[in-house]
Structure 1
């Protein structure tokens, strides 16, 4: 990795949580300078503008979540247990145990839906990839007779995502542990009733 690549990686790593917490509009150049300890010239010597930093930060946050999900799923054998990994990972995400600020797809979709088409597109691509991963798991579960054969994989994927993302929003809004637990239990019950 070249010095320039290391610096770019450092900037992204240090600003990713700020963009996820404050959003694109709420993150200032001073926030990026304070997070990295670098000058404006150093940041913009490695990125053309704030847009490039924000897009790279979003990709970093998505990779962080995907790696965490992948690690938890790799410890599971059955399709249902792999699906249940989402309840574990997203509960940890709500608690802020990794990827500060919560779900980058949810945050970016809300923050950029009308104001930043490139970020909105990144969020859409990440959402579709997530939905397709769940669809593939459901199809595997149907093939393995773990999930009812007449199940609609896309409907299940969308329902799971809606429970997860709605749960994150409600949990963050109410800041109530009981709410988090009820919504986690709803997701677990939904997954367990698929077969």
Structure 2
């Protein structure tokens, strides 16, 4: 990796954490400069604008989550085991998120819903990717006879994601991971009894 690429990656990492903790609107260029240790010119050497940096930083944050998910799924073959692995990835996010500040998808979706349509679209793409992954796992599990044929893949994906994201929000709000632990226990029981 060239020095320029290393600098860009460092900016993305630091900006992703800053935006995830303070929000896009709550992060000024001065905040970004302070976090990265660079002047505006050094930042704009790699990004066209604050918007460009925000979009790329969001993609960087989502890629980190996807790396954790791929790693967790690597040796899992059975559909329920794969779903439990995804749930397990998110169980660590309440205490040890891959990007400081919690789930970047949740944070970005909430902040951008009415204020930043392009960032909102990116968050929606990220959510679609996650929904599609869970749907595919369930549909493959049904085809292999690992999951009951009457299970609704769309409904189950919504339940899993909404429950996990709610647990992250509550754990962050109260500063207590008990909410995530309760959800993990519930979702694992749900998978074992309903699928």
- Which residue is 1:24 aligned to? 24
Contact 2:95 2:177 (8 Å CA) reproduced: no
Matches within 5 A, 1:69-108: 69-108=69-108
Q: Which shifted more, 161-170 or 5-14?
A: 5-14
Query: Structure 2 unaligned runs (5+)?
Result: none
Structure 1 unmatched ranges of 5 or more: none
Change (3 A) 1:25 1:78: same
Q: Residues 40-189 of structure 1: matches in 2 within 5 Å?
A: 40-189=40-189
Aligned-partner Cα distance in 2 for 1:135–1:121? 20
Distance 2:176 2:9 in 1: 35
1:16 and 1:188 mapped to 2: Cα distance? Answer: 31
* Distance in 2 of aligned mates of 1:25 and 1:164: 25
SS at match of 2:151: coil
Does the CA-based 8 Å contact 2:16-2:60 persist in structure 1? yes
Give per-residue Cα distances to partners, 1:75-107, cap 9 Å, x unaligned.
322111110112211111111342211111110
How far apart in 2 are the matches of 1:179 and 1:36?
A: 33
CA RMSD of aligned residues (A): 1.5
- Mapped to 1, the partners of 2:107 and 2:190 lie a distance apart of 25
* In 2: Cα distance, 1:186 partner to 1:23 partner: 31
How many angstroms apart in 1 are the aligned matches of 2:175 and 2:29? 30
So what's the TM-score if we normalise by structure 1? 0.94
- TM-score, normalisation: structure 2: 0.94
Distance 1:24 1:97 in 2: 19
- Size of the alignment, in residue pairs? 195
Structure 1 or 2: more helix by fraction: 1
Give the aligned partner of residue 12 of structure 1. 12
Once residues 75 and 99 of structure 2 are traced to their aligned partners in structure 1, the CA distance between those partners, rounded to angstroms, is 21
Question: Equivalents in 2 of 1:140, 1:46: separation in Å?
Answer: 42
Q: Give how far 1:113 is off.
A: 0.6
What is the rounded CA distance, in whole Å, between the counterparts of 1:38 and 1:175 in structure 2?
A: 32
